[in-house]
Structure 1
Amino acid sequence: MTDSTASGGTRPFRFGVVAPLRTDLPTWRDQVRRIADNGYSTLLMPDVPQWQPAPAPTLAIAATLTDLRVGSWVYASPLRQPWSTAWEAHSLSVLTEGRFELGIGTGRPGIEDELRDLGLPVVPPGERLAQVRETVTALRGLDGAALRTPVVMAVRGPKAQALAADLADTVAFALMPGDDRVESTRVVRDFRTLATRDIELAQHVAVIGDTVAPFMASPDTDPAALRAMDSLAVLPDDPAAAAEEIQRRREELGISYFVFGAGSADALAPVVAELAGQ
């Protein structure tokens, strides 16, 4: 049996799609319904102010269209007050009848410039991690005994990994542009050594073939360079080859939850049909 959690056991595959509203509303609604029909488990929204509608109301609408789970991918902790984020997450859990997942992290590269542009304080990484803990603690208090909103944490360094090992239900590993398979494997295995609970392991795959997903990677990302270094940030666009690689990553690393961009969702639908729930 393969080991597909941080602490042992095999989890079935599931697949999510980052699908911000970038078109007219009817076209986006059709896209959401198609994602659900293709067997994906989760519809996700990025947290990029002013580039698309705010995540919370957009996710609330998406949840009325299908039975998909919905989630943030991921809230940047310095962009809002912890209690406000917790209240928003709890409210989405209530309104979706338990189908919301709170994705949260300390912010993507370049978040400092974004904070300055928004007139918000630029806080150091340690304080951002403290904001994540405060948010999750407040969320657990709001949820009470009757509800538990799943928490997905995006992590990289040892301090973030330690916090996720304590708080998260799912952990997604942030990949840097220069990370090859060896380095990414080290990061994942370090976390698996650290964690003592059953935690789902996830991966944000920003590049499918030569397609770079908006909101998931820098526009200057070079797919050929990623393939040359054997990066885990890229998957083949051939469904059979993608399915083989996804199964390899679960077997070798324990990753069972994969998140793609909406532009590749149709191309990878055969992979989802083959592997989801297996």
Structure 2
Amino acid sequence: MTTRPFRFGVVAGHANNGQDWTALARRAERLGYATLLTPDTLSTFSPFPALAAAAAVTTTLRLGTYVLSAPNRTPGQVAWEANALRILSGGRFELGLGAGRPGAEADSSRLGFAHGTPSERVSRLAATVDAVADVPILIAAAGPRLLRLAAEKADIIALALPVQATEDQLAARLDELYELAGDRFPQLEINANVAAIGDDLPPWLLRQLGGEPSGTGILTGSVEEMAETLSKRRDRLGISYVSINADYMEAFAPVVRRLAGT
């Protein structure tokens, strides 16, 4: 398996005001994070203007959607927005796409879009990828249809598994992806998200986990232990692109300093 250098992203989608938002972007860049990733939900900032603001106050930080819900925009609209942000950021934009997270039907309804069937959403995502040019494409995938599409068209694949997923479940998805991608597999960058670090988890996450703080979406232990966990995961599974909830950006920074680029 090809071993890519580590890179790290911060997932953030809200701040009290514009000054706090741009300060977050500058801080992420100074701490050594490679990418600022913004979700696509109606409870967070609209990703394109938020990322444009972050681009204006940074120089090396890449910007990415994590991930746009394909049902909620036309392919032409996404291509237009993506091209603008590509130019405004000096080529630092990465377009992340998904077919709609669980519960996203409510966002589609409020925005006036039909959420569609799973098959329709995958078709919309494929049409969106085809409409966009000149930006790296990340596709969030877990099921067979999206993994197949990602294997064919993505540059980066985000493994859209729950926080409590085990190492073996990650491995099973990557085995499937390996078979689907064939000769393309070494070209793919694999991303996995870390929702929290440490033992003091937020109540919303504990509820999601059923009170059991375990899974590959959580990292515990010392800086050295967390770095070792990620290194072993990369060696075994090829996961080299790790994103972290912005609430843990500062606490996770020593791991970034230890591993980024290695």
| TM-score normalised by L of structure 2 | 0.92
More helix, by proportion: 2
Partner of 1:271: 255
Aligned positions of 1:168-187 closer than 5 A: 168-176=154-162, 179-187=165-173
Which SS does the other structure have where 1:172 is aligned?
strand
1:262 paired with 2:257, answer no
The correspondence for 2:143, drawn from 157, 160, 169, is 157
Partner of 2:104: 111
**Structure 2 runs not aligned, ≥5 long:** none
Task: Tell me if structure 1 keeps the 8 A contact 2:164–2:217.
Answer: no
Task: Give the superposition deviation at 1:106.
Answer: 0.4
1:58 to 50, 53, 63: 50
Identity of aligned residues (%): 39
Q: Tell me if the contact between 2:41 and 2:107 (Cα under 8 Å) persists in the aligned partners.
A: no
Equivalent residue, structure 1, for 2:229: 245
1:241 maps to a residue whose letter is E
- Give 1:177 shift: 5.6
Residue 207 of structure 2, aligned match among 220, 232, 240:
220
Structure 1: 5+ residue runs without aligned partners? Answer: 4-8, 141-147
**Could you say which residue in structure 2 is the equivalent of 1:82?**
75
CA deviations on 1:86-109 (whole Å, 9 max, x unpaired) are 211121111111100000010111
Picking from 7, 18, 23, the partner of 2:16 is: 23
> Alpha carbons of 1:89 and 1:223: their partners in 2 closer, same or farther (altered >3 Å)?
farther
Equivalent-residue separation in structure 2 for 1:64 and 1:20 (angstroms): 17
Q: CA deviation at 1:193?
A: 2.4
Distance 2:44 2:226 in 1: 29
Look up the equivalent residue of 1:220 and give its one-letter code. R
In 1, the alpha carbon distance for the partners of 2:200 and 2:84 equals: 35
Q: Go from structure 1 to structure 2 and tell me whether the alpha carbon gap of 1:210 and 1:125 turns closer, same or farther (over 3 Å shift).
A: farther
Runs of 4+ that moved beyond 6 A: none
CA distance in 2, matches of 1:275, 1:183: 24
Secondary structure, counterpart of 2:239 in structure 1? coil
Per-residue CA deviations over 1:104-141 (Å, capped at 9, x if unaligned) read 0101111223323444213011111111111111113x
How large is the Cα RMSD of the aligned pairs?
2.0
TM (normalized to structure 1)?
Answer: 0.87
Find the aligned partners of 1:160 and 1:180 in 2 and give their Cα distance.
20
The correspondence of residues 121-200 of structure 1 with structure 2, limited to 5 A, is 121-140=114-133, 148-176=134-162, 179-195=165-181, 196-197=183-184, 198-200=187-189
